Amino acid sequence: MIELRNLRKTYGHGPRAVRALDDVSISVPAGEIFGVVGRSGAGKSTLLRTVNVLERPDSGTVTLDGTLMTGLEGGALRQARRSVGMVFQHFNLLANRSIQQNVEFALEAARVPRGKRASQAAEMLDLVGLKDRGGAYPAQLSGGQKQRVGIARALAAKPRVLLSDEATSALDPETTESILDLIRSINRELKLTVLLITHEMDVVKRICDSAALMENGAIVEQGELVEVIRTPGSKLAAQLFPLAAPADDEGPTVIDITFAGGTADRPVIARLAREHELDVSILGATVERIAGTQAGRTRLALPVAGEAAAAVVADLRRQGLIVEYLKGGAA
Ligand SMILES: Nc1ncnc2c1ncn2[C@@H]1O[C@H](COP(=O)(O)OP(=O)(O)OP(=O)(O)O)[C@@H](O)[C@H]1O
């Protein structure tokens, strides 16, 4: 369990001061995958580095599985950090050491006795699908394989928490998928709590249970993905399901219907056309699996306005769908 409470961090002083963390609170239940998204400079890296107190917040607390990390210093902090593994965008492997040695090095740093390091490293390489590659050097591996080593190294000391800093941002889409699937399976198998930062919405959609959106150091929205999608006006949902803005000549009414969970597979549009005898046009649609359920958004142009449009919207809402007006109508 990761518990971040009222974290604040300002870099610099006076007119040049940058508020990198502005009263940030997040809690990630044990075994969950939580994603933090936001633009460059929003404060994501600073937030991630405070979790193992590589960056000390000016105020606020970090608690990991009941241990108050922000209350520790020196040797006690170094020891507590061993329960946190970290994966980086650029892998950060030691080029002049073999894969096996790279993982063993992490075990040495975590004070694992010498006699146990080789077998524990081999076990981790097996877990990430690199069983027979222990003798290879980083330069001989693909980007995806390097990140697998990065993950093996992060897991070597058997942490409870995994922090991922843009782990897939340097990888192509196919490799990204396989690394995300690996993180997901490790999360389930080892019951790891994962906090990841990313600028890729596909990462969030593929593996996160919950997510937060950061802007200017503050969390502007957070929640379980399925709830976020159901929240009218959600900025995060709009980023997860971007649809092009409607053109001026569409309408007179344009609405967004969001489907989540049980409502996703109903023939909503066919019913609308039949029962309201309307010729609706689909302007855009996206349907995906999110956090294990089907979810998506459909943008429709209705050929009616005023009360006729309101009746259609009320009918959709009665079916448990989330409907927002983009053009015409009342909220
Ligand atoms: N060591 C530092 N000294 C001064 N300013 C810093 C320092 N680290 C970060 N900042 C500033 O704090 C703000 C938040 O930076 P941070 O790296 O946490 O954002 P980010 O969302 O991770 O962005 P990116 O995706 O580009 O890494 C930025 O304005 C950045 O310039």
CA Rg, the chain, in Å?
Answer: 23
Contacts of residue 50, Cβ cutoff 8 Å, sequence gap at least 6: 4, 7, 9, 21, 56, 57, 62
CB of 130 within 6 A of ligand 1: the answer is no
Cα distance between residue 5 and residue 7, in whole Å:
6
Ligand 1 centre distance from Cα of residue 166 (Å):
14
Phi then psi for residue 129, to 5 deg, are 85, 25
Q: Report the predicted TM-score, pTM, of the whole model to 2 decimal places.
A: 0.87
Ligand 1 centre distance from Cα of residue 109 (Å):
27
Cα distance between residue 328 and residue 302, in whole Å:
10
CB of 9 within 6 A of ligand 1: the answer is no
Longest dimension (CA), the chain: 77
Per-residue pLDDT at 292: 72
For residue 46, the ligand 1 atom closest to its alpha carbon is 18
Produce one character per residue of 123-138: b if its CB has 16 or more CB atoms within 10 Å, e if not. ebbebbebeebbeebb
Is residue 171 a contact partner of residue 118, using CB atoms and an 8 Å limit? no
Residue nearest to atom 8 of ligand 1 (CA): 46
Q: Tell whether the torsion through CA atoms of 212, 165, 208 and 31 is positive or negative.
A: negative
Per-residue pLDDT at 222: 95
- Total length of the chain: 331
Cα distance between residue 141 and residue 136, in whole Å:
8
| pLDDT tens, N- to C-terminus, the chain (331 residues) | 999 999 999 999 999 999 999 999 999 999 999 999 999 999 999 999 999 999 999 999 999 999 999 999 999 999 999 999 999 998 889 999 999 999 999 999 888 999 999 999 999 999 999 998 999 999 999 999 999 999 999 998 899 999 999 999 989 999 999 999 999 999 999 999 999 999 999 899 889 999 999 999 999 999 999 888 878 788 998 888 887 777 778 878 999 888 877 655 567 778 888 888 888 888 888 887 777 777 888 899 999 998 889 999 999 888 888 898 988 876 4
Residue nearest to atom 29 of ligand 1 (CA): 41
Ligand 1 centre distance from Cα of residue 153 (Å):
26
Ligand 1 centre distance from Cα of residue 1 (Å):
25
Q: Which among 194, 169, 197, 171 has a CA at the least distance from the CA of 183?
A: 194
Axis-axis angle for helices 114-127, 143-155 (nearest 10):
130
Per-residue pLDDT at 330: 63
CB of 96 within 6 A of ligand 1: the answer is no
CB of 45 within 6 A of ligand 1: the answer is yes
Give residue 317's Cα distance to chain centre.
29
SS3 318: helix
Phi then psi for residue 250, to 5 deg, are -90, 145
Residue appearing with tokens 């994966």: 87
Cα distance between residue 237 and residue 211, in whole Å:
10
CB of 43 within 6 A of ligand 1: the answer is yes
CB of 17 within 6 A of ligand 1: the answer is no
Per-residue pLDDT at 19: 95
For residue 199, the ligand 1 atom closest to its alpha carbon is 25
Cα distance between residue 201 and residue 238, in whole Å:
11
31: buried, middle or exposed (CB in 10 Å: 19+, 13-18, 0-12)? middle
DSSP state of 216: T
Per-residue pLDDT at 246: 74
For residue 214, the ligand 1 atom closest to its alpha carbon is 21
Task: Give the domains, in start order, of the chain with CATH numbers.
Answer: 2-230 (3.40.50.300), 241-327 (3.30.70.260)
ipTM above 0.90, yes or no: yes
CB of 18 within 6 A of ligand 1: the answer is yes
CB of 40 within 6 A of ligand 1: the answer is yes
Per-residue pLDDT at 209: 93
